[in-house]
């Protein structure tokens, strides 16, 4: 029997690594991987096809539609928050126009097959924007509809693409005579900062967490770019991959929303520092806050409310702070370096 085809964009990125490894080992779907960088050798074995290319390349996407019957898209490709601030217009092109291209591809594929393509989209806590630190410290667990005034291009892009996903699912071609509702099946998760034992993120603003850990493990000095008291929600990569797969397989009738928060644990930079120093006592870590990156992190929530995800599709994290560091990150990183 032919397997269903899953398209993964940004395949060579952090989440892509975790997702491809998981899906590849399971072997239930055929993976078509797309990334502007060549796919890591270790991931190629899991893919039906790995394509080096740009989500802005309409011809390439057209060829994909012609060649594959894509059932599910994990659209992971994006320029992260810090990198996006150095070239906001480029980030807009990749993050918004790229997503629009993929949404249109999903629509085309849905038309072909007469059933909606699932479009799984990782959004981010960057979609939120708290006006000042005092508000952040008093805000408690932020719900999906609160404080949606992002201060970064990346955050604006993520929030807008959530709206685009909703539009393509519920309202696309609403005035056309042959309008068929529910053209695609868009499902979105707002992720906290992610930490993986296998990869180090590039260009993000929550990167100080993973960077502290990976630098310490390699014996490389690290200057943390936020204050020790800075608090963000984080999640270990296995939970992030699990949440995407759980949302993908949730029965549609259970999903009351298109966009869900998920989180695992909130932690300060000081706490990460202490955990890392405990694991790697000779590590050289200092704090040298970068004013603009600090301001971005200060506008992101310290905690989010993921009760809707828990209720609608049974979400729960398997890794709390202790398990994430002691059972996953530190042992795996020690083995790695
Ligand atoms: C970033 O820092 O840009 C990302 C995110 C929080 O979405 N890790």
Please enumerate in sequence order all residues whose Cβ is within 8 A of that of 150, keeping only pairs 6 or more positions apart, or say none. 126, 127, 128, 129, 156, 158, 159, 299
Instruction: From 215, 257, 213, select the one nearest 236 (Cα to Cα).
Output: 213
Distance CA 176, CA 283 (A): 62
Residue in 154, 222, 319, 328 annotated catalytic: 154
Q: Ligand 1: which atom is nearest the Cα of residue 158?
A: 7
Q: Phi and psi (nearest 5°) for 328?
A: -115, -70
Please enumerate in sequence order all residues whose Cβ is within 8 A of that of 65, keeping only pairs 6 or more positions apart, or say none. 105, 108, 109, 112
Q: Which residues are registered as beta bridge partners of 267?
A: 232
Average pLDDT over residues 79-85: 98
Average pLDDT over residues 104-123: 89
For 78-192+237-264+301-319, the fitting CATH number among 3.40.50.300, 3.90.1150.10, 3.40.50.720, 3.40.50.10490 is 3.40.50.720
pLDDT digits (tens, 9 = 90+) for 190-224: 999 999 999 999 999 999 999 999 999 999 999 99
pLDDT at position 182 = 60
Pairing status of strand 231-236 against strand 4-9:
unpaired
pLDDT at position 180 = 64
Distance CA 86, CA 92 (A): 12
Q: Which two tokens stand for residue 201?
A: 């993120």
pLDDT at position 176 = 79
pLDDT surpassing 70 at residue 21:
yes
User: What's the ipTM?
Assistant: 0.99
Query: Among this protein's residues, is 154 annotated catalytic?
Result: yes
Distance CA 182, CA 244 (A): 21
pLDDT surpassing 80 at residue 26:
yes
| Chain centroid, CA 323 distance in Å | 21
CA of 175 to the centre of ligand 1 (A): 37
Contact at 8 Å (CB) between 39 and 33? Answer: yes
Mean pLDDT of the chain: 96
Which of 122, 199, 206 to mutate to test ligand 1, by most ligand atoms within 8 A of the CB atom? 206
Which of 152, 162, 194 to mutate to test ligand 1, by most ligand atoms within 8 A of the CB atom? 194
- pTM (2 d.p.): 0.97
Least confident of 60-64, 131-135, 177-181, 287-291: 177-181
Average pLDDT over residues 59-70: 95
Distance CA 47, CA 300 (A): 35
Q: Which two tokens stand for residue 2?
A: 């032919």
DSSP output for 227-248 = -TT-EEEEEEHHHHHHHHHHHH
Taking CA atoms only, the protein residue closest to ligand 1 atom 7 is 124
For tokens 């200092």, the residue is 286
CA of 80 to the centre of ligand 1 (A): 6
Instruction: From 193, 221, 191, select the one nearest 207 (Cα to Cα).
Output: 193
Within 10 angstroms of residue 190's Cβ, the number of other Cβ atoms is 26
pLDDT digits (tens, 9 = 90+) for 131-157: 999 999 999 999 999 999 999 999 999
pLDDT surpassing 90 at residue 252:
yes
Which of 77, 126, 150, 231 to mutate to test ligand 1, by most ligand atoms within 8 A of the CB atom? 126
CA of 304 to the centre of ligand 1 (A): 15
Q: Could you state, in order of their start, the residue ranges of all structural domains in the chain?
A: 78-192+237-264+301-319
Question: Cα-Cα-Cα-Cα dihedral of 263, 319, 243, 209, to 10°?
Answer: 60
pLDDT surpassing 80 at residue 114:
no
Q: Ligand 1: which atom is nearest the Cα of residue 232?
A: 6
Ligand 1 neighbours (beta carbon < 6 A):
80-81, 124-126, 154, 193, 201, 204-206
pLDDT surpassing 80 at residue 181:
no
pLDDT surpassing 90 at residue 40:
yes
Distance CA 255, CA 313 (A): 7
């Amino acid at each position: 029997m032919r397997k269903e085809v899953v398209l993964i964009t940004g395949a060579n990125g952090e989440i892509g690594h975790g997702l491809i490894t998981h899906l590849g080992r399971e072997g239930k779907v055929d993976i078509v991987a797309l990334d502007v960088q060549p796919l890591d050798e270790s991931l190629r074995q899991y893919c039906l096809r790995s394509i080096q290319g740009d989500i802005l390349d309409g011809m390439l996407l057209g060829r994909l539609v012609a060649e594959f019957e894509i059932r599910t898209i994990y659209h992971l490709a994006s320029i992260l928050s810090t990198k996006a601030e150095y070239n906001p217009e480029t980030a807009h092109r990749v993050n918004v126009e790229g997503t629009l291209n993929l949404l249109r591809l999903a629509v085309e594929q849905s038309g072909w097959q007469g059933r909606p393509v699932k479009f799984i989209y990782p959004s981010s806590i960057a979609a939120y924007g708290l006006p000042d630190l005092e508000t952040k410290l008093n805000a408690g667990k932020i719900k999906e509809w609160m404080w949606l005034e992002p201060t970064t291009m990346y955050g604006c892009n993520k929030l807008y693409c959530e709206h685009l996903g909703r539009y393509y699912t519920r309202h696309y071609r609403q005035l056309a005579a042959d309008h068929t509702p529910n053209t695609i099946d868009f499902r979105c998760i707002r992720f906290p900062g992610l930490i993986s034992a296998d990869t180090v993120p590039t260009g993000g603003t929550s990167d100080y967490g993973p960077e502290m850990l990976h630098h310490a493990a390699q014996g490389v000095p690290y200057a943390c770019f936020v204050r020790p008291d800075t608090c963000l929600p984080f999640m270990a990569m296995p939970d992030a991959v699990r949440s995407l797969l759980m949302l993908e397989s949730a029965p549609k009738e259970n999903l009351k929303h298109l966009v869900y928060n998920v989180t695992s644990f909130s932690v300060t930079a000081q706490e990460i520092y202490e955990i890392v120093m405990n694991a790697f006592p000779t590590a050289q870590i200092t704090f040298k806050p970068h004013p603009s990156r600090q301001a971005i992190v200060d506008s992101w929530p310290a905690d989010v409310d993921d009760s809707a995800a828990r209720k609608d599709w049974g979400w729960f994290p398997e890794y709390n702070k202790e398990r994430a560091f002691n059972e996953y990150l530190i042992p795996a990183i020690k083995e790695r370096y």
